[in-house]
Amino acid sequence: MIAILTSGVALGAYVPGLLLARRLNESGTAARVDVLERLFPGPIRDRIQVNRRLFHRDFRLARAAHALARDQRNLLDADLTARLLEEWTGSGVSTVVVFSGFWAPVVDAYQRTTLGLRVERCHVDAIHSPSFQAGGDIAGAGDVWLMDSRRGTVDITIPVSGEPVIPWADREPRMLVHGGGWGMGTFLTDAQRLARGGVQLDVVAHERADITFRDGTRYFTSDPDWQPWSDGGFPPFGEVRGDGSVGYRAATRCPASFDLVRQGIAVVSKPGAGTLLDSLHAATPMILLEPLGEWEEHNGRLWQRNGFAVSLDEWCSRGRPLELLGDLHRNLLRARSATPSYADRFLEGGAVPGESPAPRTRGRSQR
């Protein structure tokens, strides 16, 4: 049994973990997904919801809070943690894949009772994300990097969907605009800027005040009552109707929003890890907005270096050329076909790019 350890706070870690588990289970390898926040007391989870609203409304506050991320072991409920460790033992968990560094103390505890545990830390960002910076090391863990920040390469990936890429000529002339799972950043202001220039947009809203219904813009949203630590799966997602109602659709194989990524000509967003996966597997260019932190800044640089993205300011200063987006699409299409799947390499049992083939000693990687 493989335990895939994610966090519901960072959907850029949660969704790739679900996608990996789906691929493993479909291949006959038993995998479970565990969400860190299930180990938190109820009041802590309630506070996360408060922060979500605050960070959506105040990007400066969100950036400051992420810059101050710290070890969360003191938030873990001892009884809930002990129960989880018993579940792992009972189901024979012999491998863990860690998508959030805050899982380190739980994995350390399980290692003390489990001989030969295989641990892989999967880094979906180009450099250490805040959870891996603050969460501490795990003895003997190997590191898998989807991207190499030093060489500027995409070495391995987690496929989002088995659907084929929609040909460029068949796409709708629309762009998807969003602020990641928590709707953070300048995306609403930037959407207005694009709409005034005649660009047709699909905007992911997070509260009623985000919606204006003008300039031909369509609005979509996720179910605000859905929580990954209680409901699991992908968030129910749907279009906001003119009367404010939403027809939510709960996707089972990948996020429902991925259909909009596939059908459009660009994703306008900050460069979060989940959005980069969407961009690669839909071969849809990114128009980059202000990053949340240093790790997203490195993500954006790598995407631009490979010819997968352009900043919003650059694209506008060049006259908003659609032919440039077509060039970026073709670059992504070539990379998509050339980049191996982490799940496939994992199932083959071999080392993957960025993985340490020998046990690691304590001491943080310099990546």
Cα distance between residue 121 and residue 106, in whole Å: 14
- Mean pLDDT in the chain? 88
User: What pLDDT does residue 361 have?
Assistant: 28
Cα distance between residue 148 and residue 154, in whole Å: 6
**pLDDT band per the 50, 70, 90 thresholds, residue 362:** very low
User: What pLDDT does residue 355 have?
Assistant: 42
Mean pLDDT of 152-180: 94
CB 171 within 8 A of CB 265: yes
Cα distance between residue 223 and residue 61, in whole Å: 24
Is the confidence at residue 183, as pLDDT, over 50?
yes
User: What pLDDT does residue 66 have?
Assistant: 63
pLDDT (tens digit, 9 = 90+) per residue, 261-297? 999 999 999 999 999 999 999 999 999 998 988 889 9
User: What pLDDT does residue 360 have?
Assistant: 31
Does the predicted model carry a pTM greater than 0.85?
A: yes
User: What pLDDT does residue 68 have?
Assistant: 57
Cα distance between residue 183 and residue 53, in whole Å: 9
Mean pLDDT of 226-251: 88
Long-range contacts of 293-298 (CB under 8 A, 24+ apart): 293/63, 293/66, 293/67, 293/130, 294/127, 295/125, 295/126, 295/127, 295/128, 295/129, 295/130, 296/125, 296/270, 296/271, 296/272, 297/271, 298/125, 298/126, 298/127, 298/149
pLDDT (tens digit, 9 = 90+) per residue, 39-58? 999 888 888 877 777 777 76
Rounded percentage of the chain residues whose pLDDT exceeds 70: 92
**pLDDT band per the 50, 70, 90 thresholds, residue 348:** confident
Mean pLDDT of 180-188: 83
Instruction: Tell me the two tokens of residue 46.
Output: 């309630």
User: What pLDDT does residue 59 have?
Assistant: 64
Domains assigned to the chain: 2-159+341-348 (3.40.50), 168-338 (3.40.50.2000)
